[in-house]
Amino acid sequence: MGKQFSKLEAAHRDFIARQRIFFTATAAETGRINVSPRGTDAFRTLSDSAAVYLDRTGSGNESAAHLRRNGRMTIMFCALEGPPMILRLYGRGRIIPRGQAEYAALLADTFEGKEPTAARQMVRLDFDLVQSSCGYGVPLFDYTGERSSLDNWAASKGEEGLAAYRREKNVTSIDGFVTGFAEDRLA
């Protein structure tokens, strides 16, 4: 049932455009594997073999730590409504720190200059394998709306509070791997 492709095709792009959530998976050579959900409002395809998403402040920064160590990353979309399908993008990811020229250019060109509340960094994935599979086992869910919790939390902290939170929570992974976050801000 699964099919493999060397790049995104038009049908894949259409499928991605209809989704509301995607999942990222990263792992270092040792330690825990990380899987995180993200809203597709932060996701953009850059080409048939590259994508980027705006990453917002969270309680950890596991993906950054793992990508710094070996770059391995998978992004997965799965249909929660409509026809079943799972789509995975396999490749090498890297962090694009907020405040750097590449970040500013992508924000302007790819995200219409709109930076969400609590933006922390961007994550770029260059992929060499696209795989689709049936998704027959994925249950159906009804979309009812976006959560405002992260926006409300970030607004209550303000920029200085968010910066302090990132320094406290986003510099190392749960396995003690350095995320590069502190170094990125000093450069």
Q: pLDDT tens-digit profile of 6-63? A: 999 999 999 999 999 999 999 999 999 999 999 999 999 999 999 999 999 999 999 9
Domain ranges of the chain: 3-186
What is the rounded CA–CA span in Å between residue 100 and residue 106?
Answer: 10
pLDDT at 78 over 70: yes
pLDDT at residue 182, rounded to an integer: 73
pLDDT at residue 184, rounded to an integer: 57
As its CATH architecture, domain 3-186 has Roll (2.30)
pLDDT at 187 over 60: no
What percent of the chain stands above pLDDT 70?
A: 97
Instruction: Report DSSP state, residue 8.
Output: -
- Alpha-carbon torsion (185, 40, 174, 177), positive or negative: negative
pLDDT at 150 over 70: yes
pLDDT at 134 over 70: yes
What is the rounded CA–CA span in Å between residue 30 and residue 155?
Answer: 36
Q: How would you class 87 by CB atoms within 10 Å of its CB: exposed for 0-12, middle for 13-18, buried for 19 or more?
A: buried
* Residue 27, C-beta contacts closer than 8 angstroms, at least 6 positions apart: 33, 34, 66, 72
**pTM to 2 decimals?**
0.94
- Average pLDDT along the chain: 95
